[in-house]
Structure 1
Amino acid sequence: MMKAPPTDGAARDAVDAVIRSRTAVRAFQPTPVPKALVVEMLEVARCAPSNSNTQPWFVHVLEGDAKRRFSEALLRSHERDELPASQHFPPELPAACRSRQADFGARYYAALGIGRADAAARYRQTAQNYLFFDAPVGLIFTIDARLMPHS
């Protein structure tokens, strides 16, 4: 039987605190991540809501040699410009979103000392995505190709 949620705002405050403490990390130490911690995180994540409880995702956990080989293959494709174009934004992003994205890009590259006109440095920084920013564990989430984007 499910426990009733607290009514005193404690749950709301806890969720608010987690959301507000969120950060995007783009540089990692090589410290190994215990397998038990990865399993625990995935056990919690599998409880995330999904459309009609389809739970359409598959999680591929990469570390060590498998992650290195996968990253090297991605980098080779990146260098040959063979990776598919990113389709996670519409061709014409709404003005407010475009403005926030531009602000993020300016701050991000400035923090790395990369000028807006330095296409080569921006390209090299993009390649860090394919190295998982040196994280010791990489998680790849996939869904069946027959599903719709909102699935």
Structure 2
Amino acid sequence: MAMRIRELAAQAGTTTRTLRYYEAQGLLPTGRSANGYRVYDEHHVRLVREIRSLQAIGFSLQDVRPFVECLLAGHESGDDCPASVDVYHRKLAYLDRHIAELRDVRDRLSERLADLGDAPPPRCELLPTGPESDTRGDKQ
């Protein structure tokens, strides 16, 4: 069943602006009717849902491209092509690196807190204390 851009946006859960952007990026090929309107079908709904689901887990549009190309080539799933699997591997390696970096930062922060022990935090001489530190601006 042929549909226009508003119908595709509604079925795919997105906006017409997003669909036009995907088209401009070469991710959403479209045909045109005799009067020049964009024409879509269920295959386009599937493409847009694939793009959006991959973006929802942190993939960029560049990362999404191999999955879309795989679907456009007639494969049942965007995961069926080696280029898509390569993207998964690259994304996992990227996440593993960043998780390791965050663990390192967390460990260093925990060590600093442990070094402080149960002692009360030191007073900072740069911060005013007492009645002269009243920030309301009204002196007594």
Please report the TM-score for the alignment, with normalisation by the length of structure 2. Answer: 0.21
More helix by share: 2
Bigger-Rg structure (1/2): 2
Higher strand share: 1
